[in-house]
Chain A
Amino acid sequence: GAGVSQTPSNKVTEKGKYVELRCDPISGHTALYWYRQSLGQGPEFLIYFQGTGAADDSGLPNDRFFAVRPEGSVSTLKIQRTERGDSAVYLCASSLERTASPVGANVLTFGAGSRLTVL
């Protein structure tokens, strides 16, 4: 697509529920990132995909968080047993793959984010 698309734009859920956030990256971008952003803070790295595999998941806060990218395009961030502290804007970004374009890989295109509110 023309840009990075994230759905839903807003999600309100109750504590303990399961949520899925979807990211549709730019066509041809093999690198995909998930970030989390709280009010007044910079984005916090969660996970980085290179193709279908998670190249770096060191930012996932605990085992309630999981992300997949089964066909190397669309990615889903899954949060189990949500807690109030999970409330944030979840940002997805995509870029060219590093070995194909080392400089282009630094140019991340972000979606508008999914705002998650856990009551």
Chain B
Amino acid sequence: LAKTTQPISMDSYEGQEVNITCSHNNIATNDYITWYQQFPSQGPRFIIQGYKTKVTNEVASLFIPADRKSSTLSLPRVSLSDTAVYYCLVASYGSNYQLIWGAGTKLIIKP
């Protein structure tokens, strides 16, 4: 199972673009990269997933280089409501299916 490493915390300001990078050095060929967001007292919420290159949806963009050993979640023009914990996970396809969650990145947006 591919383990991920991401910064423990980050600060930014309203209106800025925020990039959170995650490393997953032992990602396997068929693995997907997924990102979740979690607010206090709520369960995590799926943001985006990708396999390679770039994926964009209405919330974020995900950049994955060719070697796939890292990925970057990009949040455009953040607001105070984007303050949350962001988790990077690798979805591993095997006989047993697990998502291994790290401690995530606590993102604090300041006015």
Using a CB–CB distance below 8 Å, which chain A residues touch chain B?
Answer: 4, 35, 40-45, 48, 55-56, 58-59, 91, 93, 98, 102-103, 105-113
Contacts and interface: CB of A to CB of B under 8 A. Distances in A.
Given A98-B97, A113-B41, 4 more contacts: A42-B103, A48-B96, A55-B96, A108-B36
Contacts of B44: 43, 91, 93, 108, 110
Contact of B42 (A40, A43, A103, A112): A112
Contacts of A98: 93, 97
A4 B43 CA distance: 10
A40 B99 CA distance: 18
Contacts of B80: none
Q: Is the interface of A mostly helix, strand, loop or mixed?
A: loop
B89 to A, nearest CB: 9
A42 B89 CA distance: 11
Contact of B99 (A4, A55, A108, A112): A108
